[in-house]
């Protein structure tokens, strides 16, 4: 599919990628989304919390939203998607990954960039217990990678899933890790690492024999975290094995559902491999849009409706018909 042209051009301030990223992460506020929480029990007896919000009119359409690293279903970039969906006669359910809803999850494992089995269980729960005949997927950063990998690796995607939109996605995880650990991204990596180590300390209470104080002290970088916890908890040999197996880049050619990937060219989290031009050209179901601006999940636009949100609705409605 040809690479899509973009019309996104924010005001001068938000053309700076770091300003767009930081403002959207720290200061943006989305109001008016009334969420109802549902807890589901997974096949391994762990749990996931789902935050639902609804259109004012009865609808048969649903948007499933996945957040990014150390996010949750109440983050404002997630609420932005839910709000614009609800305003367009689409119900929304924002998924909190394991351990991200304010309560430590039960199992030793948690979530990661390639953990598609939990998404599959959420979709199965919804198709079994609800009556939506049209389901859309929307993921940000890590959550976007989960969606792209799920769509590419799943042989029988449920017929209810009609389209997907993924935003600011590190489709090549090793390259994105290297970018995050670079000097210009140090403030982001420090915050991510602090949050992840805090999660590790909370999980240590449940698994003191597996997570020792020496293990926690050994975590100095994001790669260290993936070496000592992510890979060990989820069956990978080490961090690089986790990145290799979990990157969605290798699955993009198999995607059979209309899917839009929006990655800004000034996203400091993304390596050059995260702009999959050849994969998009060879797959009629993969649409790649590369705005010059937007930072990481920072597509600031008019009236607090982000470009990525209005573009999502435009794409989903078009693909439905």
From CA 203, how far away is CA 149, in angstroms rounded?
Answer: 27
pLDDT per residue over 227-254, tens digit each?
Answer: 999 999 999 999 999 999 999 999 999 9
This prediction's pTM: 0.98
pLDDT for residue 311: 98
From CA 223, how far away is CA 205, in angstroms rounded?
Answer: 23
* Domain harbouring 102, CATH code: 3.40.50.1820
pLDDT for residue 131: 95
Q: Flag whether 1 is in a domain.
A: no
Q: What's the rounded mean pLDDT across residues 249-270?
A: 98
Q: What's the rounded mean pLDDT across residues 86-110?
A: 98
Do both 145 and 57 map to the same domain?
yes
pLDDT for residue 285: 97
Do both 52 and 124 map to the same domain?
yes
Q: Flag whether 7 is in a domain.
A: no
What domain range includes position 90? 12-171+253-320
Do both 259 and 285 map to the same domain?
yes
Asked if pLDDT for residue 321 goes beyond 70, the answer is: no
Q: What's the rounded mean pLDDT across residues 33-41?
A: 98
Do both 140 and 278 map to the same domain?
yes
Q: What's the rounded mean pLDDT across residues 141-160?
A: 98
From CA 161, how far away is CA 137, in angstroms rounded?
Answer: 8
pLDDT for residue 2: 75
Q: Which of 229, 246, 263 is the last residue of a domain?
A: 246
pLDDT for residue 320: 66
Do both 157 and 64 map to the same domain?
yes
Phi and psi, residue 228, nearest 5°: -90, -20
pLDDT for residue 169: 99
Q: Considering its fold, how many domains does the chain have in total? A: 2
Average pLDDT over the chain, rounded to an integer: 97
pLDDT per residue over 278-297, tens digit each?
Answer: 999 999 999 999 999 999 99
Q: Flag whether 2 is in a domain.
A: no
Q: What's the rounded mean pLDDT across residues 143-155?
A: 98
pLDDT for residue 319: 73
Burial of 260 (0-12, 13-18, 19+ CB in 10 A): buried
pLDDT per residue over 4-24, tens digit each?
Answer: 999 999 999 999 999 999 999
Q: What's the rounded mean pLDDT across residues 24-28?
A: 97
pLDDT for residue 318: 83
pLDDT for residue 246: 98
CA terminus-to-terminus distance, the chain: 18
């Amino acid at each position: 599919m040809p690479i899509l042209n973009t019309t996104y051009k924010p005001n001068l301030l938000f053309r700076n990628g770091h300003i767009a990223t930081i403002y959207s992460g720290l200061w943006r506020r989305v109001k008016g989304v009334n969420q109802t929480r549902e807890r589901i029990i997974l096949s391994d007896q762990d749990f996931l919390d789902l935050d639902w919000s609804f259109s004012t009119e009865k609808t048969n359409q649903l948007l499933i939203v996945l957040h990014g690293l150390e996010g949750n279903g109440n983050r404002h970039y997630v609420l932005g998607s839910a709000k614009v969906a609800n305003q367009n006669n689409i119900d929304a359910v924002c998924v909190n990954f394991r351990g991200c809803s304010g309560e430590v999850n039960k199992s030793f494992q948690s979530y990661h960039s390639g953990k598609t089995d939990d998404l599959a269980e959420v979709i199965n729960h919804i198709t079994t217990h609800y009556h939506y005949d049209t389901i859309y997927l929307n993921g940000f950063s890590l959550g976007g990678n989960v969606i792209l990998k799920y769509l590419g690796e799943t042989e029988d995607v449920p017929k209810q899933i009609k389209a997907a939109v993924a935003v600011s996605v590190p489709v090549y995880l090793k390259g994105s890790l290297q970018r995050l650990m670079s000097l210009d991204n140090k403030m982001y990596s420090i915050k991510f690492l602090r949050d992840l180590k805090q999660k590790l300390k909370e999980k240590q209470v449940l698994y003191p024999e597996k997570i020792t104080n020496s293990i926690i002290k050994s975590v100095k970088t994001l790669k260290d975290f993936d070496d000592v916890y992510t890979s060990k908890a989820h069956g990978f040999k080490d961090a690089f094995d986790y990145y290799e197996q979990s990157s969605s880049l290798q699955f993009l050619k198999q995607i059979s559902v209309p899917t839009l990937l929006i990655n800004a060219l000034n996203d400091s989290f993304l390596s050059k491999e995260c702009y999959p031009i050849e994969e998009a050209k060879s797959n009629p179901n993969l649409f790649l849009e590369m705005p010059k601006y937007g930072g990481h999940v920072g597509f600031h636009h008019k009236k607090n409706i982000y470009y990525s949100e209005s573009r999502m609705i435009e794409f989903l409605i078009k693909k439905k018909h």
